[in-house]
Structure 1
Amino acid sequence: MNLSFRQLQAFREVMRTGSVSEAARILGRTQPAASALIANLEGELGLALFRRQRGKLVPTPEARYFLPEAEAILDRLALSTRTMREIGELSQGRLKIACMPAAAPVMMPQLVAEFLDDKPDVRVSLMMRASSVIEEWISSQQYDIGLSETPNPSGALDTEDFRLACVCALPADDPLAHKEDITAADLDGRPMAALQDGHPNLIDTQRAFAVQKARFVQRFELRNFQPAMTLVENGLCACICDPITAAGFIKARPEPRSVVFRRFTPNVELAVSILQPAHRPPSTLATSFAQCLSTELHEIQNLF
């Protein structure tokens, strides 16, 4: 059986109006074309749907039985068409995002809020996880978009990579706060907050101090830089932190702020990437959000 959408439309309008010519007018077709649609439908069903009595078109009992079925099919098609149009217009759908801890408190929720401002029916899963977990989730196609530290090359991942220059976080009343650029030598022997042993950021920071023959004193060992902001705020240390954390602190705190951020030399970078599954085409919604996330990271690159 090969029923068509137009056959069902013609049948429904003839049932509603009792006239092939009127049904043709409503559908924007000629009367012969509408008659052919009805005839083809009857051929597909193997049933007579209408009989002519005294010049009038009279539905058969089979036609009356078939009408609710035809209307249900047409209504379902209309709903599906509308839903897919809304998805194409980014007003419906679901987006699953996984992000690293640096972006979870401020940057990512704020970006999601801005993205959803005109999309009340879009649902979002937003999960904070370690970069290794995010890589696994995206590779296995469990999530649409991830923001993590740059992973090793993988055929299961499409990535857009960024290298973000880290900045020096200082108490606002620190004597060094008046400088535009802070060097490792300026921080010689000062207590510092840094990431855990073996983390690339810690290794690069220690190397930067060694280049300038400055003593690196790690007072606080952390899993991410977010708690470091409170420690710096209380005058307990300085910190060479990623610019995502710094930008989030600036956005979340009104001026005057108790922590200031300055460029740091020698350069210490954080490599981060936007991740998407390589073996599944992204939805229009995911593509649009990934573009917003990319723009945000480019802005953070130029912020300090």
Structure 2
Amino acid sequence: MPEPISHRLIEIFRTVMSTGNVTEAARLMHSSQPTLSRELARLEDILGYALFSRSKGRLQATAQALALYAEIQRSYQGLDQVISTARQLGRGEQGHLSILSLPALTHALLPAACARFLASHPGVQLSITPQESPLLEAWLSGQRFDLGLTEHHDTPPGTHAQPLLQADEVCVLPAGHPLLHKPVLTPADFAGQAYISLSAQDPYRILLDQVFADQGIARQQRVETHSAVAICAMVSEGIGLSIINPLTALAFASERLQLRRFSISIPYRLGLVLPEHRPATPLLPRFVAALAHSADDIQARLAQAVCPP
């Protein structure tokens, strides 16, 4: 069997090629010129062809040597990229985060948090998957994502939760509506009003229906939909008014859709759900910090939106 080509022989060849002479290569490798000359001769013997022609004490690389050196350089550049990536991963400059979220949060909370996070982590890739319950909880239990964003109710098995944001449900009204002169709306203000509801199974719809039923107040149920985004679009068209989660309301607030407080507190809670059996990435705490900053910003903007000057 032919003698194997060692990494040391390749490194000697590479150093000689990059410096142009054996003496300088020996100095860089803390060796001697005779030792490196013998090793180069051994490499040529193993390969079965000359790497250098020797003329007046100078080395002249052969065509095979030039081709071999080019291939070695490509390999070293690939290794350099591997080393660079490894260091960037350690510093949190590269990597991937997978996030599972309620659909409403993909337009009302995540965009600002993603922008803030990516501004300081441009090499990181984010994957955001919107999903409704109960699949959302099942996927979180399955450890399929680095982070979940959901309404803060029961914690799925195999995960732990921490609160992120709490704010009350808010009233949304179209531009020019007579009730806009009031800073706070009571259930009585909705009597006989055209109203757009969430679907009958929605837990917030159930709570609101009970509030109005307890006070004996009838609304004109104009439209029913499962989507708070659709409600905002319909309110903007003047179809009716509604009471929805504060994040979606704030995301769509405009001259055509305005917000007011509701006199009865119906808390809307958001939480972070973290898998207990999925390897943690050092990027996660930094993204959670960006989410917390966005949540604080939403609280401040919401306070202004429901109490316009």
Fold match by TM threshold 0.5: yes
Q: Which residue of 1 aligns with 2:19?
A: 17
TM superposition shift of 1:274:
2.3
What is the Cα-based RMSD across aligned positions, in Å?
A: 4.2
Q: Which residue of 1 aligns with 2:151?
A: 149
From 163, 184, 189, give the equivalent of 2:166.
163
Structure 1 counterpart of 2:185, one-letter code: I
Contact 2:199–2:226 (8 Å) recurs in 1: yes
Q: Aligned residues, how many?
A: 283
Q: Which residue of 1 aligns with 2:48?
A: none
Alpha-carbon distance in 2 for matches of 1:8, 1:195: 70
Unpaired runs of 5+ residues, structure 1, are 25-30, 59-63
| Cα gap change, 1:69 to 1:279, in 2 (>3 Å) | farther
1:211-250 residue CA offsets vs partner (Å, 9 max, x unmatched):
5x14153613221211111222233322111111012113
TM superposition shift of 1:98:
2.9
From 25, 31, 34, give the equivalent of 1:35.
31
Contact 1:191–1:218 (8 Å) recurs in 2: yes
Unpaired runs of 5+ residues, structure 2, are 46-53, 60-64, 304-309
Q: Which residue of 1 aligns with 2:194?
A: 191
Contact 1:163–1:271 (8 Å) recurs in 2: yes
From 191, 201, 204, give the equivalent of 1:201.
204
Q: Which residue of 2 aligns with 1:298?
A: 296
Alpha-carbon distance in 2 for matches of 1:7, 1:155: 56
How many percent of aligned residue pairs carry the same amino acid?
A: 29
Structure 2 counterpart of 1:266, one-letter code: I
Q: Which residue of 1 aligns with 2:51?
A: none
Alpha-carbon distance in 2 for matches of 1:197, 1:152: 21
1:165-217 residue CA offsets vs partner (Å, 9 max, x unmatched):
11111223222212222222322343322222232211222333355x14153
TM superposition shift of 1:15:
5.3
Secondary structure of the residue aligned to 1:229 is helix
TM-score by length of 1: 0.71
From 244, 247, 252, give the equivalent of 2:247.
244
Structure 2 counterpart of 1:300, one-letter code: I
Q: Which residue of 1 aligns with 2:100?
A: 98
Secondary structure of the residue aligned to 1:164 is strand
| Cα gap change, 1:216 to 1:300, in 2 (>3 Å) | farther
Q: Do structure 1's residue 132 and structure 2's residue 128 form an aligned pair?
A: no
Q: Which residue of 1 aligns with 2:286?
A: 288
- CA radius of gyration, larger in: 2
Secondary structure of the residue aligned to 1:104 is helix
Secondary structure of the residue aligned to 1:35 is coil
Secondary structure of the residue aligned to 2:224 is strand
| Cα gap change, 1:214 to 1:169, in 2 (>3 Å) | farther
| Cα gap change, 1:170 to 1:214, in 2 (>3 Å) | farther
| Cα gap change, 1:7 to 1:91, in 2 (>3 Å) | farther
1:5-40 residue CA offsets vs partner (Å, 9 max, x unmatched):
x9976774355337677347xxxxxx698339xx9x
| Cα gap change, 1:284 to 1:10, in 2 (>3 Å) | farther
Alpha-carbon distance in 1 for matches of 2:72, 2:87: 23
Secondary structure of the residue aligned to 1:280 is coil
Alpha-carbon distance in 2 for matches of 1:223, 1:23: 73
Contact 2:161–2:272 (8 Å) recurs in 1: yes
Alpha-carbon distance in 2 for matches of 1:9, 1:292: 46
TM superposition shift of 1:145:
2.9
